[in-house]
Chains A and B, each alone.
Chain A
Amino acid sequence: METLLNDFSPGLFVVSTILLLALIGLMVKFAWKPILNSLEERESGIEDALAAAENARKEMQNLQADNERLVKEARAERDAMMKEARDIRDKMIAEAKEDAKEVTTKLIENAQESIQQEKQAALAELKKNVAELSIGIAETVIKKELSSKKDQLKLVEETLKHVTLN
């Protein structure tokens, strides 16, 4: 303690106090104030920029979500439309098939009907022909002046030979 106190120089203490006071004053005025102010300014600038970037990112995200939503909606709509179209197509095909069936049945019916009619007409003509033929035969038989019974039968047979029942 004693040697320490002996080493302590009051003069140096006073001088260094004055110098340090001056140094602190000058440093605060010319160095630290401007430095710290600009540092703070820069830091707040950086913070603002970061916040702005974050906002932009969020906005981007929102936009992207919107886009995705729109795309999804559009896809759904397209799907719906396609389904509808397919339905319509199926329906149309079915209808067409139905119509075609109807038409064919009708046609077949008509054909059958006309066949029937033709048949009737043919039968009627046949009957008429048969009648005419029988009249002709009878005419011929009568014309031939039948002398004998035998001849008469022969004639009938001959005539019948010529007639083919169609």
Chain B
Amino acid sequence: MYNLIGAGLIVIGAGIGLGQIGGKAMEGIARQPEATGKIQTAMIIIAALLEGLAFGALFLGK
């Protein structure tokens, strides 16, 4: 039960984080379309790091 609550909290946090990353990346791309490639790469790396963190937490609780 507590596991599930914890998982929910993790997903909320990760969701907020991913939203921030994606949103800011889009803003950046809109502002500087010529830097799309670099922004995307950085975005994917940060998203991947966040994902790793979230999954780590999820599986520690499982």
Contacts and interface: CB of A to CB of B under 8 A. Distances in A.
**Touching in the complex, A and B, CB below 8 A?**
yes
Interface of A: 1-4
B62 interface: yes
Nearest to A4: B59
Interface residues of B, number: 4
Nearest to A2: B62
B60 interface: yes
Contacts of A4: 59, 62
Contacts of A2: 62
Contacts of B60: 1
B3 to A, nearest CB: 11
A156 B62 CA distance: 181
8 contacts: A1-B59, A1-B60, A1-B61, A1-B62, A2-B62, A3-B62, A4-B59, A4-B62
A2 B59 CA distance: 9
Given A1-B59, A1-B60, A1-B61, 5 more contacts: A1-B62, A2-B62, A3-B62, A4-B59, A4-B62
Task: Report, nearest first, the 7 A-B pairs whose CB atoms are least far apart.
Answer: A1-B60, A4-B59, A3-B62, A4-B62, A1-B59, A1-B62, A1-B61
Interface in B47-62: 59-62
A1 B62 CA distance: 5
Nearest to A3: B62
A3 B61 CA distance: 10
Interface string B1-29: 00000000000000000000000000000
Contacts of B62: 1-4
Interface string B30-50: 000000000000000000000
A160 B61 CA distance: 174
A4 B61 CA distance: 10
